[in-house]
Structure 1
């Protein structure tokens, strides 16, 4: 019987400790997962910085929500899973060697993914965002911000027959977008220069769909400028650091649809996860190039800093166990 496990506890702004704590026990309808790894999400960066609303210390494993591993114990009335099955989880305390979550927030990983890391939650987000974007063959789609999420969306949109214009700051991000199917790339440096470049690429028509993946004010402003009359603006960036202002006059004039693509319905989240698993297992989506930086749990602080600072070649950090 496991008497303790290691779990990250945030103790203050940009400070954490690795504690030995009792493993969580699954209750009715829950499963316990011995984690193999967990992706590091950019949404962790605001809590990591220590805003006024953040409370320390955090619960063990808190903020980690991109985990995968092997079920080692099931609670009562769980019939859909058994111990030993490899799964991806949408649980929220995965910066720890074990996490407990509702069985309805877990999906089995097929044998085709054996030995491969699988950060399921951000992949589920990407597939749900793609569905909400209503992208069709022949459309022009601008994707602003090519990190993990933007790269996956570039692949999905291009595979659907859309012409993707990728807009991002770093040259290696633009190269990644091209690898994932972008037809054109535009450096994200000058606001009016970007608008001019997109106008030139579209003969002034702008874009049927614009997906903003950054989560900051300027990219949101830019997205509104790039969407065509009657088009759709999809907000995929996680705007958690401050309120935003929008040019409602322009949005009204263009008659655009504005979609906040963050799903909160657990059933929809799980649907995206199943779609992502099927796509990666079949080879339609190759995620291996996106997992660029690997850290043990004891170096979670470095993983968070790398996610913030984006060293050369960075796309996504994973924390690995064992």
Structure 2
């Protein structure tokens, strides 16, 4: 039996339960991993609340897509993986079908990546989703390159920090937007070229001033909601406003008409665009691994929780006070 997190009704963190379940055997195209660490993501909280882009189709339901562990069993038709290998799972499947909040988990082999040599389980659970999101949107889709400027909010999140490092790696300039000044110095230490405190400053005016009136080539927006109009005002002609989250919880207008129909590109993005396309995932993996190898990339871990404290881990995530990735460890 394996301790497994499930929820029997949608709702807040308190609906999660730790239950003993038979992990089962992997089927065609699947592997079973011994889970050592789990990366906690906002998508899981939204799925638990019934507010994710994909509804909960059956209850009780499982949670989780990002974990690091060791392969215990390999199902038929799996190529490239074998028992005993250290791997990480990435968000490339529906939580209606699989979940990695558990001591043992079955996942599709297409959602597995080999863990780089020397990387421990905590880092292996913290690294992939943030960098795959930042690279997939800004570099793969957006074509970000040297000399570009990217403004990003929710900058102290794991994705925000990965976006800062990704921009620096390609020679772009990352400008972090944070609500209060509490995290300003840490964001500068993590590589932000500038930090704008939204409660104290006029964000679009500051972005325009920083770019000599040109505007930024990219906005990487995890908040969405009514604030998109102000941010879009600071996008350079032909620039792109990426929406990859909706932390505001409010309706998001299209600002193009209110702003006089500028040459504005607005695009949604989820990491699934990268993880469900083998060619994109291969390119993204190579980009991230090379950054890790040279020391340019490093996952930032905010806090560790044991599996027994999964409810507290989710409460901490929903407090929005973290700086970097929240990771749950699985002790035996």
User: What TM-score do you get using the length of structure 2 for normalisation?
Assistant: 0.84
Partner SS state of residue 117, structure 1: helix
Match in the other structure for 2:284: 272
1:170 and 1:280, CA in 2 relative to 1: closer, same or farther beyond 3 A?
A: farther
Match in the other structure for 2:20: 20
- Which deviations, in whole Å up to 9, do the C-alpha atoms of 1:132-166 show, x marking residues without a partner? 22111112221122011111111111221122211
Match in the other structure for 2:158: 148
1:226 aligns with 2:228: no
Match in the other structure for 2:6: 9
**Contact 1:135/1:160, CA 8 A, preserved across alignment:** yes
Match in the other structure for 2:245: 237
1:143 and 1:161, CA in 2 relative to 1: closer, same or farther beyond 3 A?
A: same
Per the TM alignment, residue 256 of structure 1 is displaced from its structure 2 partner at its CA by: 1.9
Partner SS state of residue 294, structure 1: strand
Matches within 5 A, 1:1-322: 4-12=1-9, 13-14=11-12, 15-49=15-49, 54=56, 57-59=59-61, 62-90=62-90, 92-114=98-120, 116-119=122-125, 120-131=128-139, 132-146=141-155, 147-189=157-199, 193-214=202-223, 216-238=224-246, 243-250=251-258, 253-262=261-270, 263-264=272-273, 265-267=276-278, 268-269=280-281, 271-287=283-299, 290-311=300-321, 314-322=323-331
**Contact 1:307/1:316, CA 8 A, preserved across alignment:** no
Q: Please tell me the root mean square deviation across aligned C-alpha atoms, in Å.
A: 2.5
- Which deviations, in whole Å up to 9, do the C-alpha atoms of 1:216-235 show, x marking residues without a partner? 30443333122112212122
Total equivalences in the alignment: 312
Moved more, 108-117 or 5-14: 108-117
Q: What residue ranges of structure 1 are gaps of 5+ in the alignment?
A: none
Counterpart CA distance in 1 for 2:193 and 2:130 is 24
1:55 and 1:77, CA in 2 relative to 1: closer, same or farther beyond 3 A?
A: closer
**Contact 2:203/2:231, CA 8 A, preserved across alignment:** no
Per the TM alignment, residue 50 of structure 1 is displaced from its structure 2 partner at its CA by: 5.2
- Which deviations, in whole Å up to 9, do the C-alpha atoms of 1:27-54 show, x marking residues without a partner? 1121111111111111222334455965
Partner SS state of residue 113, structure 1: coil
Per the TM alignment, residue 307 of structure 1 is displaced from its structure 2 partner at its CA by: 0.5
Q: What residue ranges of structure 2 are gaps of 5+ in the alignment?
A: none
Counterpart CA distance in 2 for 1:154 and 1:189 is 21
Moved more, 65-74 or 244-253: 244-253
**Contact 2:5/2:63, CA 8 A, preserved across alignment:** no
Partner SS state of residue 105, structure 2: strand
- Which deviations, in whole Å up to 9, do the C-alpha atoms of 1:227-248 show, x marking residues without a partner? 1122121222257956532213
Partner SS state of residue 36, structure 1: strand
